[in-house]
Amino acid sequence: MITKNFYDLIDGELNALLLKYKEDAFLKAHKSALNNQKSYALLIWFLDFYAKKSNYVPYITDGDNDSSCDIVFDNTDAQGNKVFYIVQSKWNNAANAEKTTDRGEILKALSDFETLLRGGKKQVNEKLSQKLVELDIHLRHNGDVKFIFLTLSNYIHNADDNIKAFINHQDRTKFEVIDLNRLKVDYIDRKYKQIDPMNPLENDENPEESPVTIDIERMNPKSPNFIKIEKPFEAYVCLLRPKTIFGLFQRYGFSLFYKNVRNPLMRSQFNAEIEKTALEDPAYFWYYNNGITAITYLLPPIRSQAEKVNLTGLQIINGAQTVYSIYRAYKNASHTKRAQMDKEALVTLRLLKSGGKKFDLNVTRFTNSQNPVDDRDFCANDDVQVRLQLASFNSKYWYEKRRGEFRELPIDVTAVSNIIFANVYLAYQLQEPVSVFKNGQRDKNLLFVSHQEHKDGLYEKIFNERTQFEDMLCALHLFVSICKWVGCVFSDTFATNLYHVLALTKITFTKYLKSKYGDSIHVNLKIIRLVEKDEEKNIFKAIRYAMNFFNNHIAIRENDKINSEKLSKLLVNEFFYEKLKKQLEDTDIKVDDIESLADDANIRVSDFLLKYMP
């Protein structure tokens, strides 16, 4: 979903809000001021999306006499602490949405916020005046404050130093920029992945960093509350009540599952069944549910009489659906039903001390083995996987880093498995089509396996700090075009020589585009732009050139028959591909060599795939 398309989507929702609340006094007073109206609508949307507050009236403080401060409201976090949130909204029209955030706007917002903290803002409307009185009392009681600058543009961190100075100067104060890109990522999480994004209107805590206290259930006063495992790593098995699980998720949210291969889904039949059992048959819950497995970095010894345990670095690696379902059931239950749940329902907690990255990964792998889990699922939370997916949201091909990740998709977007992206990148950008083909012959796919686990593991070779989504996207575009040319549907198949053709097109395109536009041309970006502008005529010609080269420069046909032995050597032997590659690199390719090729669709080698399959 490119930025413009997402902007249009959000702007459409803002227009719907303006129509829905057309009788609002502020909107009536600013009929001729589109900027004020849209900024106001953006605040309504923001409150509804993140805070789920459909009644926006008590929170928006804008009035006729001021425009710099849009929302001032307080919220009580999971620990019972009151936090004041102050939000300033900046709407941009479509022409400015793809531009970067004006640094001066953020500096002005910081100045406005500092004025508020000093109590220096005097000329304000009645509603804001009352909120500022409450804010002043809150500050005098040493309360926490968070400022948010909300903008429909893209922030490039050009005011980070100023923000840091502002925060350092103001204790117990936070500042966050919520820009168009952040809104897009959070919107995708909720709408298309069906998981709740991190809420900027909640006081977020990271359980990996913060001390966590949990209550363990004491079933028998005369015996310990747990089973203890001492070697090779300490571990405990204990029981929890629903209120403890509810409290954990209420406080830490989805950050409990950073290391889980599956994020809990907001809606699923499986979750609905867990909720139903917790609400209607709480006494049976322990019998029907496998419980939760968690890892913690610091696991202190637990006394046999203990009813509370203090942990550091808590992560739930199995049981995310259980936690989220209990949270939802408990949240929506009446006071009487909660009491029943806490009396009758029990949940098993397996609490393990971290044994290092490899041990933790293996625990995650094996505790999730009751349902099919691919190797790529265990890499899904790696920084490089997250980075590539975020970059893909600016395209029409979304990078799927775990199976079934996207529950829905926009009409113009296609989800593409990172298996496919890895294949085309390995063949095209890294020039290793033989590795792709040989990997396809194995019983085990090694794309997402470390070389430390298997001598032929490919993960670090493909995914590292040099891996850029634009290079993957370029390779994908060309692979799709090649598949169109030969009349097949692209997939994550390995056993095809089309990856060899894809690799050769990199050399063909590099020579062709540099000959046409000069050595400074960014080849991959140019190819992406040609595809996005639907200018595929010369792309097909360059592909055809590479195919002809493949056909004419490899002595694999004798008397119009395939020499299977030579073809097999080409597909599985790096030496033969390097030899072919060197021949193409030594070939002088001029612009006319590509553009003079016939453009008749009937000339396409529709049986090319069949001829060269081993």
The residue extents of the domains of the chain are 3-193, 211-373, 376-611
Confidence (pLDDT) at 429: 95
Q: Could you read off the pLDDT of 421-450 as tens digits, one per residue?
A: 999 999 999 999 989 888 877 778 889 888
Predicted local confidence at residue 243, as pLDDT: 93
Cα–Cα distance, 326 to 271 (Å, whole number): 9
Q: What is the tens place of the pLDDT at every residue in 481-513?
A: 888 777 776 665 555 678 888 898 898 888 888
- Which pTM does this prediction carry? 0.77
Rounded to an integer, the average pLDDT of 376-403 is 89
Give the integer Cα–Cα distance in Å for 311 and 141. Answer: 30
Q: What is the CA radius of gyration of the chain?
A: 29
DSSP assignments along 268-304, one per residue: -HHHHHHHHHHHH-GGGHHHH---EEEEESB-----T
Average pLDDT over residues 52-59: 77
pLDDT > 90 fraction of the chain, expressed in percent and rounded: 17
All residues at 6 or more sequence positions from 358 whose CB lies less than 8 Å from its CB, including other chains: none
Query: Is 79's pLDDT higher than 60?
Result: yes
The pLDDT assigned to 52 comes to 80
List beta partners, residue 347. 240
Ramachandran sector of residue 110 (left: φ over 0; alpha: ψ -120 to 50; beta: rest): alpha
Mean pLDDT of 205-222: 75
Which pLDDT score is estimated for 614?
35
Query: Which pLDDT band holds residue 40 (cuts at 50, 70, 90)?
Result: confident
Helix, coil or strand: residue 51 = helix
CA–CA gap between residue 389 and residue 405 (Å, rounded): 11
Measured from the Cβ of residue 449, the count of other Cβ atoms closer than 10 Å reads 20
Domain 3-193, CATH number (from 3.40.50, 3.90.1520, 2.50.20, 3.40.91): 3.40.91
Query: Worst-scoring range by mean pLDDT, 140-149, 245-254, 370-379, 440-449?
Result: 370-379
Lowest mean pLDDT among 146-160, 234-248, 254-268, 272-286: 254-268
The pLDDT of residue 270 is above 50: yes
What secondary structure does DSSP assign to 137-178, as a single string?
HHHHTT-EEEEEEEESSB--STTHHHHHHHHHHSTTEEEEEE
Pairing, β 235-240 against β 347-353: antiparallel
Average pLDDT of the chain to the nearest whole number: 81
3-state secondary structure 195-211: CCCCCCCCCCCCCCCCE
Helix axes 242-252, 320-332, angle to 10 degrees: 100
